[in-house]
Structure 1
Amino acid sequence: MDKTAIIRKIQKHKKQPNLRFRLKKKVETFTDLLFYTLFDIETPVEENMAVLETKFDELVTLACWETDKPCKKVWENYMAQLPGILEKLNLDAEAIVSCDPASLSIEEVYMAYPGFYAIAIYRLAHKLYEKGFPLVPRLMTEYAHRQTGVDINPGAKIGKSFFIDHATGVVIGETAVIKDHVKVYQGVTLGALYVAKNLQRTKRHPTIENNVTIYANATILGGDTVIGENSIIGGNAWVTASVPANSTVFHTPEIKIKTLPNAV
């Protein structure tokens, strides 16, 4: 087969006219600049807001290809939300430093804790998700996912003072609801019981009430599953039904000690 025929076949199968991968890189650049603008003391806020607006316009051009869903005016509203987002993120950082005995300073949390970074990018993406801004919120949280191992869908609803410790392997689904002062450890999954396209507009992921602690590798599934306030979910627990307030749920391993056949 000659080169011309091969090129023609490749072009024939490139079926997505709006699939421009440079959008990913532009989202990552926008996300980094936004993070630094909010947190880095040496990054000028006033100057960067103008730069961020220009970069946001580029995202609009690349992501908003459906003409019946205009998103040009989203920036002004989003910019107005940033002080409130920053206030929530500062509470998240304070929750981490007050709960984790390994944290030596609040600055360490902002710069070195992958859980905090994942929460920060989620909160920044969530406001765009609420406005119906296409694709960009998911690209933002996937950027954080790639860097931290934490997969938070931008559609999840997360309250104040959220703490993810160690972070790696945490998965939080699109319709999960997490209320205030919740602590989550590595490997926790807040997922769906079933995966089917016709469930797209239904609540598929659990609700976690105030002051709940979920230890490593616990799995909580289902849109009707509610973990009552002040409860503790132990490591490796598998939960698919609601748990009343002030409960402790734990997994009990079966331990068998292997002995030598002729041991006395």
Structure 2
Amino acid sequence: MLLQAGPLPLYHQLEQDLRARVNGSEFQPGDLLPSEERICEQYGVSRITVRRALDALIAQGLIVKRRGVGSFVAEARVGARSIRLKGSLDEFLSGAGVMEPDHLSLTRDARNPTAAAILNLPDDAQLTCVKLLSRIGGEPAAYLEIYFPNEVGRQLEETDFQTAGVPIIRAVERRLNVRVSRAEQKIESGVAGEVAAAHLELQPSDPVLLVTRAYFLPNGQVIEAAFVRYHPSRYSYVIEFNADSRA
């Protein structure tokens, strides 16, 4: 399958196709993926393109790289299972109405390799980082670190992040005159860490609900990567399942 130049960058096209092959069970957990050279030949792309696509899959936890050996499909964690659910983006964002944002900082020259991988940028890319503390009933409930590509971040102002009840991504949409088409969210257990603990009134080793979130434009570009640490006793995540009316 040769990739074609177009509005979607080649490395993102490659990332999507490799992800589909992994999720489609062409490769099993622990399987060795084709070498970088072989992937270059299969898709007609450069090694830099291949490495950027593989780095993005590594950041998503789908593959692991072993120095001097190659890239492997990640093994499922013992006792852990990943479940994918789909729903309405508008309904998902409606939950932000209960949160009261407390703006902490906006930095335009931040670096975060994990965020850069989600945004499909080089590890050392300069990013715009917004840090927020969200409250429920006046009590700190979530600490957020939100990253944007610098071409997006340069258009944002601190006032964009200070309106209660308005999700950050909606404020970004208005400022840039764009519309997000989908989002991906991963929820897992984590620890507060030094910075979040100080804001959430926790100890650094205390458990938190850790959420990693990415927002996509219709052309596939990731416009925002967010890392959210929720206070374990002030926030819960509830999903309602309804029976199929056609049954």
**Greater C-alpha radius of gyration:** 1
State TM-score, norm by structure 2: 0.27
Higher helix share: 1
Greater length-normalized contact order (CA 8 Å, ≥ 6 residues apart): 2
